[in-house]
Amino acid sequence: MVGGLAWLEILAGAALMPDTSQLFPTLFTPLTIGGVTVQNRILSTGHDTSMAHEGHVTDAMIAYHEARARGGAGLIVSQVVGVHETARYTSHVLMGTDDGCLPGLTRLADTVHAHGTRIFAQLFHPGREIMEVADGTAPVAYSASATPSDRFHVIPRAMPIRMIREVVEGYAAAAARMKTAGMDGVEIVASHGYLPAQFLSPEVNMREDDYGGSAENRMRFLREILDAVRVETGDDFVIGLRISGDEHTEGGMDDAGSLEVIRALAPKLDYVSVIAGTSATMSGAIHIVPPMFEETAYLAPFAHVVKRAVDIPVMVAGRINQPQEAEGIVASGQADMCGMTRALICDPAMPGKAKADAPDDIRACIGCNQACIGHFHKGVPISCIQFPESGRELRYGALRMAKTPKTVLVAGGGPAGMKAAATAAAMGHHVTLHEAAAQLGGQALLAQMLPGRSEFGGIVTNLSAEMKRGGVTVHLNSPVTAEVVAEAAPDAVIVATGGTARIPQGMEFSEDAHIVTAWDVLRSHANVGGSVTIADWRADWTGLGVAELLASAGRRVRLCVNGTHAGEMLQSYVRDTMVGRVQKLGVEIIPYAQLYGADDDTAYFIHASNGEAMLVEQTETLVLAQGTEVSDALLMALDGYDGQVIGIGDCMAPRTAEEAVLDGLKAAWAL
């Protein structure tokens, strides 16, 4: 095993490492794409970081991509660059419509190249898929036709011929700027239902001119883009295409239709990158960043079909989390390169670790979507719940060694305590962690018991391994009291004692009401009746997950949510997947339900908006999913302790694993 600091040294000298790996011999072979050779088959696909400012590259964005280049990625495709003023689909999109973009893009390209990594830029127009703009108003959206977008409830205008020509010229001009900036190539985004895909789709494109009707006409817009870009950039510049296979939408593009497009356009391309889904519908959007409910590497079979049909390199993404998955895909000839974007967000050093035949040191992505795409949807810089250093490279990118190592006692072995301990040890402190239970993990052990979420337990595995590599001393079955702290006399105490299942006060519960907590259900400590009502206060994973668990076991389940909808607090792709799963099981979802009380056969709620009574009859068991109550007794008892005392995680305030791990990082840096 190699510790965190040693990995920084290895990656700093990555150019001196052997070009082969015994465990992953194919993954670390070079690949020629057009006139460019990449050092390995690991790709960071184009994804918005929310780090642009006024349409331009920022220092934060450069630092973010540099971390992936330093970590050994073969190719980085930077986030989308708008090609026309109507392409501003968010307030933080990069723009390539004037020369003002050149200084930032040049610095980005130079920085990535310094580590031996190649970089392409995505050229983009969303068409009707407009999310938000800076002033909060809705702009006029344009598409192939005036066909609405179901997901964003946008009705666009059909692009007039004049605008089509403007946009085509915009792609060409933006591509020329990317070449001037030193980018190695460009990738035309025709995936996920964006503008080129809107022209390709017979369900969206209702035009009766030369850009609509036949398959050949519907491809005309994309053909003109590719031709114009080639004229502006020359034969030595890489031009690729990203395209969805199955849009997973009724009436949308499917694998066969997309394959037809790929075959027809391959002579104009240096590579094709395949994915799935569309931004236009909830069912399709899930596949833009598929959550852990989807199988790993589930799009490799379609990539294989494409690979057999064309003579250009084929790239594929879609839940490829580990180097062994990527090795299998490339070695079997299903694709030439694997998009491992979230894996690189979670562990930027993943390629270097794999190349050094140290896969056990890799921090594996768990597909939670919480801080990566979840942050993007909130309009804030992306990060990772397991590795909050991601997206915060300017502050936490270089580990700071302790000038004077301290003795540190960490009380609590959940995600917060483990992150604090692992980071503090890597910084050179002498760290001992005490966990009151027989197993590390805290509430993450409950989260992994929810249906389809066993992968969430990876956060425990990963943080435990990081503590071990850092040399943290761990004591299980070891509760910490003020007396224990006084006897150990550490320089610093980090209190991460978490919380317990919250049981709300002031409820009118009769003595014969059968009431259990969601935690009891997940631990199999509850005898649950055949007709269940779940009082879901948090509107997150817990209520939905327990509803699926109990409905799958044959119980009648009603999920009463104290919010506008089930999963209100979740990233949309996770929420929509979970809601779809419980709907199939017949779970009844009742929103705006604020718990009031219960008796032997009825749960009582108040409508959160109008205060009217809501009775849920035939309730044999009421399951409380009411969030977390802080366990701060130790923190309070240490008030006045001579050493440094830092409270983190749920013992400070009940939140999520993301805040817990970030708290742990900040605590270690505060020592």
pLDDT for 143 equals: 98
pLDDT for 591 equals: 98
Quick: pLDDT tens for 330-360.
999 999 999 999 999 999 999 999 999 999 9
pLDDT for 138 equals: 87
Domain spans of the chain, in order of start:
4-395, 400-501+630-669, 508-626
pLDDT for 85 equals: 95
Closest CA to 162 of 177, 142, 148: 142
Structure tokens given for 241: 């295409």
> Residue 4 pLDDT > 60, yes or no?
no
- State the helix-helix crossing angle for 4-12 and 415-426, rounded to 10 degrees: 60
Quick: pLDDT tens for 583-622.
999 999 999 999 999 999 999 999 999 999 999 999 999 9
Structure tokens given for 208: 């009766």
> Residue 9 pLDDT > 70, yes or no?
no
Residue 159 CA to its chain's centroid (Å): 33
**Percent of the chain with pLDDT strictly greater than 70:** 97
**CA distances, 67 to each of 30, 182, 315, 343, 346 (Å):** 21, 19, 22, 13, 11
Give the pLDDT band (50/70/90) at residue 17.
Answer: low
pLDDT for 479 equals: 98
DSSP 51: -
Compute the distance between CA of residue 521 and CA of residue 280 in angstroms, rounded to an integer: 37
Helix (H, G, I), strand (E, B) or coil at 325: helix
pLDDT for 132 equals: 78
State which H helix or E strand residue 606 sits in.
strand 602-607
> Residue 560 pLDDT > 70, yes or no?
yes
Q: Across residues 143-162, what is the average pLDDT? A: 96
Quick: pLDDT tens for 390-441.
999 999 999 999 999 999 999 999 999 999 999 999 999 999 999 999 999 9
The CATH classification number of 508-626 equals: 3.50.50.60
Quick: pLDDT tens for 178-192.
999 999 999 999 999
> Residue 207 pLDDT > 90, yes or no?
yes
H helices of 471-588, in order, are 482-488, 518-522, 541-552, 572-584
Structure tokens given for 633: 């007794």
Q: Which CATH topology does 400-501+630-669 take?
A: Rossmann fold (3.40.50)
Q: Which of 66-70, 134-138, 424-428 has the lowest mean pLDDT?
A: 134-138
Residue positions counted in the chain:
671
Quick: pLDDT tens for 618-665.
999 999 999 999 999 999 999 999 999 999 999 999 999 999 999 999
3-state secondary structure 533-563: EEEECCCCHHHHHHHHHHHHCCCEEEEEECC
Name which CATH class applies to 4-395. Answer: alpha beta
| C-beta of residue 40 within 8 angstroms of C-beta of residue 72 | yes
Quick: pLDDT tens for 488-524.
999 999 999 999 999 999 999 999 999 999 999 999 9
The sign of the dihedral angle between the CA atoms of 410, 412, 418, 420 is negative
pLDDT for 203 equals: 95
> Residue 5 pLDDT > 60, yes or no?
no
pLDDT for 13 equals: 44
> Residue 14 pLDDT > 50, yes or no?
no
pLDDT for 12 equals: 45
